[in-house]
């Protein structure tokens, strides 16, 4: 059966002499893996496989097999800035890797697809104030992963428990918590919108600390090791 869907390119790996295997988050079927023959030999095709590219797909949908064959792949939207700014490229690589790890394969979620599409358009349109975009993106993504931190429990002097996903006043044994300063910053991020990012001025140290905390939070809440490989790209892109 031939089907069509909108999609978001996440990652690709070479296959055989000229083919690629691509992981794409689709509006219709969720996260899927596709194989496309001859993709590496076609002029102009390489850009379509870059992280977060918005594409239209035509594919053979054999639901008895995990790997589906792409028949056609085309642009759905051309980003204006993401492919041309080193900082935005590094954010795109990170977010694509995060989605590849945290989103379950084969689960369709049109609301998640809509959120991702909107978020990437916002990133593409921002000229300034996007250095902490990935931090806010992670927090917003946790809503769709079912692990959004409990914001109602915040109070002065509390600490955020990464293990329990809530703000606490005491420090139980073996708990993993943010310190007071990090907790206030975490809570501030929870209450910041993408449109307010210009006013969120964080130091490089704060961004690194929040990134590490959010990745660890996802690991603890999803009960899986993230094994992220793109942290260093973000650090290099935004300076030390």
* Residues 65 and 94 occupy one common structural domain: no
* Residues 71 and 145 occupy one common structural domain: no
Q: Which of 33, 53, 77 represents a domain boundary (last residue)?
A: 77
Q: Report the CATH number at residue 45.
A: 2.40.50.140
* Residues 33 and 133 occupy one common structural domain: no
Full residue range of the structural domain in which residue 73 is found:
2-77
Q: Which of 27, 48, 77 represents a domain boundary (last residue)?
A: 77
Per-block mean pLDDT, blocks of 10 residues, the chain (240 long): 94 87 94 85 77 95 78 94 94 96 90 98 94 96 96 90 92 84 95 91 90 95 89 71
Q: What pTM value is reported for the model?
A: 0.92
Estimate to the nearest angstrom the gap between the alpha carbon of 135 and the chain centroid.
10
Q: Where would I find the H helices in the chain?
A: 86-102, 110-125, 133-145, 180-190, 204-222, 231-237
Q: Which of 22, 52, 77 represents a domain boundary (last residue)?
A: 77
Q: In the prediction, which pLDDT does 26 show?
A: 96
Q: What are the tens digits of pLDDT across the range 93-148?
A: 999 999 999 999 888 899 999 999 999 999 999 999 999 999 999 999 999 999 99
d(CA 31, CA 224): 18
* Residues 90 and 64 occupy one common structural domain: no
Estimate to the nearest angstrom the gap between the alpha carbon of 49 and the chain centroid.
16
Q: Report the CATH number at residue 150.
A: 1.20.1440
Give the chain's domain count: 2
Whole-angstrom distance between the N-terminal and C-terminal Cα of the chain? 51
d(CA 131, CA 3): 38
* Residues 218 and 191 occupy one common structural domain: yes
* Residues 15 and 99 occupy one common structural domain: no
* Residues 120 and 220 occupy one common structural domain: yes
d(CA 223, CA 9): 25
Structure tokens at 164: 């329990």
* Residues 19 and 93 occupy one common structural domain: no
Element (H, E) at 6: strand 2-15
């Amino acid at each position: 059966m031939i089907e069509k869907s909108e999609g978001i390119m996440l990652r690709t790996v070479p296959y055989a002499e000229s083919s690629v295997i691509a992981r794409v988050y689709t509006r219709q079927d969720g996260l899927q893996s596709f194989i496309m023959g001859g993709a590496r030999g076609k002029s102009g095709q390489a850009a379509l496989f870059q992280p977060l590219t918005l594409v239209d797909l035509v594919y053979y949908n054999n639901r008895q097999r995990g790997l589906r064959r792409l028949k056609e792949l085309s642009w759905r939207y051309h980003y204006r800035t993401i492919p041309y700014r080193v900082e935005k490229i590094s954010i795109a690589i990170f977010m694509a890797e995060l989605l590849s790890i945290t989103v379950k394969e084969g689960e369709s979620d049109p609301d998640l697809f809509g959120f991702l599409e909107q978020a990437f358009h916002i990133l593409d349109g921002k000229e300034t104030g996007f250095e902490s975009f990935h931090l806010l993106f992670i927090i917003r993504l946790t809503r769709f992963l079912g692990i959004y931190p409990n914001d109602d429990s915040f109070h002065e002097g509390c600490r955020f428990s990464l293990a329990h996903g809530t703000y606490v006043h005491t420090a139980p044994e073996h708990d993993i918590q943010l310190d007071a300063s990090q907790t206030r910053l975490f809570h501030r991020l929870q209450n910041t919108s993408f449109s307010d990012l210009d006013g969120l001025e964080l130091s490089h140290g704060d961004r690194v600390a929040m990134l590490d905390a959010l990745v660890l939070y996802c690991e603890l809440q999803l009960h899986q090791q993230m094994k992220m490989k793109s942290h260093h790209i973000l650090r290099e892109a935004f300076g030390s």
